[in-house]
Each structure stands twice: as C-alpha cells, then as structure tokens.
Structure 1
Amino acid sequence: MPVTPIAGAPAPIPANTATATAAASAPKKALDSEVFMKLLVTQLTNQDPSTPMDTNQMISQTTQLAMMEQLTAMSRTSTEAFALDMRQAASTLIGQQAGYLDAKGAAVTGIVSTVSFDGPIPQVTIGDATVPLDEITSLATAPTRTSA
C-alpha cells in the first residue's frame, strides 16, 4: 500500500541523502585553493558589469593563491623532514646509555635496547621502560665489556 504524503508537508529525505548533504555542507576549517577558487568565482559572478574587477586585482589574488599553496607544501615538507630526523636520532641511540626522569622525578639511566616508531614521537626502550625520545635527558657511550 503506497504512502500518501500529507498536503503541505515536506517530502521525506532518504537517510543516506541527508548524511551526504550534511557532510557536503560542513564548514571547512582551513582555507585551501578550493575555497579560494570558489570565492573568486563567486566574486566574478556577482560583480557589477559596469565596473568589472580590475585585472591587476585578479592577478594579485591568483598570485596570493599560488604563494599559499607553495607555503603549504613547504610546511608539509618541513614537518616530514623533522619526523625523519627524529627517527634517525632515535635509531642512533640503540646500544647507547641514556637517561631520563621517571614519574617520581628520579634520574634513571640504562642502555637503549629498542626503538619504536608508533605515534608521532619515537619511543625508546631503556631497561623495562618505554620513554618518548623528547624525554631523554642524557646520553653517554655504553660501557664496554671486557673479558676476564
């Protein structure tokens, strides 16, 4: 039996359409090239035909977009390079004596046995403790064993 809509009532919206519409209309938290281009197109569409946008102004805005994209790319590259540097630094600690402050604030030293790259900051294992790389407070050459 078909459902008859009530006169004057809005038509029902399928659940998947409402979800897609909500996701599509969610505001962006960052200005990117897509947002910039939408603003530029809106500005051009709604301009007064008797006084169109100045060409120099349009070129200036396009240049600003290109600069923004380059700065974003440089920032991303810098972040990736820093993460790689942290991984390399952590890797060189294996077999070295390192110190850190425990939860009570006491200085603890031991030999770094493993390094884990889970998470944004590499984790080193000193004895039974796992310590973030940025909490290492001292480094020393590990003592060498001599045979008797």
Structure 2
Amino acid sequence: MSIDAITGTVSAQAAAAAAAAQAAAPKQAMDSEVFMHLLVTQLQNQDPSSPMDTNEMLSQTTQLAMMEKMTELTTTSTENFSLQMRIAASAIVGQTVSYLGPDGKTVSGVADSVSFKNAVPTVSVGGKDIALDLLAGIGKLPVTVPPATS
C-alpha cells in the first residue's frame, strides 16, 4: 500500500463543498424571514384535498406580527439602555469617583472626561480609562475653604 503525499492545495470541488456547508449552516435564532419561509413551504406542500385551516393560518400570521414587534421592542430597549449609560457617564464628569485598582485596592480620583467609543462608556480618571460599570462609587468634589487670614 502506498501513501500519497500531502499537499497544501484544496480542490475547487472541496472549496465549493465547504462554502455550501457554511451557507447552509442553520440560523441560531428564528427571525421573520425563517418564519415566513416555513409558512410558504407549508402552504406549497399542503394537500389540495385538505387545505390549511384559515384560523390556523391567521394564527400563524399573528404570531409572525407579534414576533416582529417583540424584535422592535428589544432593539428599542437596547438603544434606550445605551443612551441611559451615556447620560450617566456624562453626569460623572467633574465628580470624585472610586474603583478597584489592579492590586485590589480602592483608587479615587476626579473624572476628567468620558469616551463613548466602546459599547460601555469609559471615564478618564487621572489619565486612566475606567469602564463605567467598573466604578465603585461616585461623589461630589469636596468644597475647599481657603484658610482665614487675620
């Protein structure tokens, strides 16, 4: 028995098969497109002598509409939460904040600025960027009263 040499090239047929398998990978979540495809397939394959009950079809259409509205509600809720985080982070600027440092000790400083480039806003404290959800406390700057001169 002979052993063939291993080559680093992939045949066009193998590449096409891999692409088809990737394209045919099932979706992890049902969306309206999948739901509508199932409904159309069901209608195409129904027995002409025993068509789908109109009440059942109406029920499925209602379920599709409800699913689309739930998806819209989820999107709106996510956007609302993101906006609330941005507002909260903006309100922190100029205040004293505390967070746990890498050594596990509490570090305090004044929040200089806020960045929104990541999903979670970051607050700059003494030149170090701290994620908003890692802050341990927030307080007002202490009021300094100049010493009385006599």
Bin the TM-score by the shorter chain: 0.7 to 0.9
Instruction: In structure 1, list runs of 5 or more residues that go unmatched.
Output: 1-11
Deviation at 1:29, TM superposition (A): 2.4
Alignment partner of 1:92: what SS? helix
* Residue 109 in structure 1 maps to residue 108 in structure 2: yes
In 2, distance between residues paired with 1:33 and 1:131? 39
CA deviations over 1:67-90 (Å, ceiling 9, x no partner): 000000000000000000000000
Deviation at 1:143, TM superposition (A): 2.4
In 2, distance between residues paired with 1:19 and 1:41? 28
Q: How many residues are treated as equivalent by the alignment?
A: 137
TM-score (norm 1): 0.81
Deviation at 1:33, TM superposition (A): 1.0
CA gap 1:37/1:13 in 2 versus in 1, 3 angstroms: farther
TM-score (norm 2): 0.80
Residue aligning to 2:68: 69
* Residue 42 in structure 1 maps to residue 41 in structure 2: yes
Alignment partner of 2:92: what SS? coil
Within 5 Å, give how 1:1-148 maps onto structure 2.
Answer: 24-146=23-145
> Percent identity, aligned pairs only?
51
Alignment partner of 1:99: what SS? strand
CA deviations over 1:72-117 (Å, ceiling 9, x no partner): 0000000000000000000011100000011111001100001011
RMSD: 2.3
In 2, distance between residues paired with 1:34 and 1:130? 42
